Structure 1
């Protein structure tokens, strides 16, 4: 028994139409499905909603719920804004740069390009305040991933005991530290 892949990931949105248009216009996603009900199928709770689905590529679906009867959405004040996000893979660095330029031309504030050694990424917020990341693989990714794979369990074990960053893979951001 094994999970095949993510069916969809769902977030809340402030406005379904604005959200669809933003993801279509800025990230070239296709709007694939809308479902609207007056009650929640799983709980039977009376609560009208609009559920929208966007094609995030290769069978991945990004979904949103607009909930007009609920209080305004917010963030968990105990979680830093950089933690909770969704990341999408793009083909290469040229594609990443093209997305950055397009987003900025559309008035979206973009952070990055950030070098993570195994990939490069940019960060920005959608109109609902959700942090989004676009990431492209680094040219030397395979060797680095093998090195990280070899130490993952040791790192996890050390972290679980000390709650301090293990040094098994501190080489990962060494070139960034050398620039500082």
Structure 2
């Protein structure tokens, strides 16, 4: 009577090999295609919100590598939290709205101050979508930019409105 241990060993080796391949692809994409997508992105976003020019933090390549890297990393059995990647992806979408969408009148927003505001709104929207909490998303973005002084009372309400729309859209999609 066979115990089947040979088949079990082959299955485990295949699983381990698949995990290594998926994680290797995600790592290679991050190193060679989009270095701005490394890590969770929270520390880099904190620096960017406080005025530090971090190269390749936001952009199309970083967005694609971040999304694919997170998917491949989770598929490869890595533990990847949802807060950091969604905050980074939200920040990228916030900046993409200004620079890459051909919306008339958005040329007014192409400066560093408004870029930080849109980035903060994107961070908040990403976190509020992750946890279905508009107030939590707003406070998270405020917490990331603590030393900065670009927050105003009206900006808090605009970001809260952005988070509310993000949470409402999430609830519509998941119903």
The two structures have a TM-score, normalised by structure 1, of 0.30
**Which of the pair is proportionally richer in helix?**
2
Higher relative contact order (CA closer than 8 Å, sequence separation 6+): 2
**Which of the pair is proportionally richer in strand?**
1
